[in-house]
Structure 1
């Protein structure tokens, strides 16, 4: 009998142009930037992280916003990014503060694993730097060090390890990592939004919970096949979203949660 629990945690919000979560057909070359587009087209969406209480360990997926976003957003994000996205992190909502409220010290975390290294997923990583291990896929790590759109100062000095993709029974490419080697928790290779993005399949008593990261941004993403507005490969993004849609139809799929879905509230899934 599984005793796995998933805490869905919101670490503030991010305000973006609507074309960032939901790709638009437009003549605008960079609609997701919000440049030269009306403010009425902007929307605020949650920035999520997930704490998994698993019989074999305590795992945190993603780290949300850093508390630095409160005091010096432009410096933390960099000038260019700060013209496109606006982070908001109310008091008490950083991952450090929320873990503290749960009575969990950073060193209690057996594993922190990043779905990918875009700013709203890695920004708060220094708050959990004392975790026993911090992992990201080797593909994403390489992309993060070769692409100027990543903000390397966010994880500077943090002891991040990388993992290689292996054959698993799930995902658009049947590639990822069986985190405990027992088929109860998988990192699933779902590229497209970023080169090395992974989603997570968590086995619970009620079936699989799929934490889809930024493969899509809301239920309509996989129901209407709307790709994210930012992709590194439209083909990969298409395959990853199609897999998400197919998985949602399985009898053993309990729930799909994507990182920025307005319909998903903080909760505990047991």
Structure 2
């Protein structure tokens, strides 16, 4: 069995200092980074990858004012970008999701996890352990300890056509996802294994918990691409890629 449809869903954006996107650049300039969620329609029901930013970011670009992130991270989120409303556009409610895959628990990927209190949320052990004890994971909506976490370690075959790949480095327990769809065949979602195509192809360093681990994970993803030749490689926050379409209502 393969996945029937993969929808790439826009969930707002955030402005990030360019030095976090490319460590070779000086700080001081903000770049706009698109934020995504991914909906997989399967025979077992819909599965969601990442839940976007927290509701507390809505119309609140000054969220980080007065903190160490002021001037380096600015949310750009409307009410329509909450995961509840993102799913409504596709005709789903949060309770319809059979499973949520959290690539990691950073603010732009796990902010909506609290809307899925009765849904299994798949997360790597290292990510869970770190996030629940590290105040650098912000805001609190990303660090809810009482959800229905399904803790895994390493690569994991969720269903035929959905393979979770352990790609630590950007965060301690980051994971990417390889999806095989009826229409497109293998599709690699790097998530934050690589922010952009330039990060990926030119080995440009970006924000990471451990740069050596991040580089090793990139090599792992490149080797996988050589082996399976995915029809699409979709990066975590690539503006150029976002402008090319193939996002909802289109599907892969």
Q: TM-score range by the shorter chain?
A: 0.7 to 0.9
Q: How many residues align?
A: 245
Q: Is the 8 A contact 2:107 2:139 kept in 1?
A: no
CA deviations 1:240-270 (Å, max 9, x no partner) are 1122223333453111111211113423333
Segments of 5+ residues of structure 1 without an aligned counterpart are 26-30, 166-174
Stretches (4+) displaced over 4 A: 71-78
TM-score (norm 2): 0.87
CA deviations 1:88-145 (Å, max 9, x no partner) are 113422221121122211111001121001111111222x324532221111000102
Structure 1 residue aligned with 2:136: 149
Distance apart, 1:154 and its partner CA: 0.9
Structure 2 residue aligned with 1:140: 127
Q: Is the 8 A contact 2:8 2:36 kept in 1?
A: yes
Distance apart, 1:159 and its partner CA: 1.2
Structure 2 residue aligned with 1:216: 194
Output the CA distance in 2 between the equivalents of 1:76 and 1:204.
39
Structure 2 residue aligned with 1:57: 45
Output the CA distance in 1 between the equivalents of 2:111 and 2:230.
30
Alignment of 1:238-249 (within 5 A): 238-249=215-226
Matched, 1:178 2:154: no
RMSD: 2.3
Output the CA distance in 1 between the equivalents of 2:3 and 2:225.
23
Output the CA distance in 1 between the equivalents of 2:146 and 2:87.
19
CA deviations 1:15-68 (Å, max 9, x no partner) are 01112122217xxxxx5xx4xx2xxx3210101111111222311111111232
Output the CA distance in 1 between the equivalents of 2:169 and 2:213.
4
- Secondary structure of 2:194's counterpart equals coil
Structure 2 residue aligned with 1:198: 175
TM-score (norm 1): 0.82
Segments of 5+ residues of structure 2 without an aligned counterpart are none
Q: Is the 8 A contact 1:73 1:82 kept in 2?
A: no
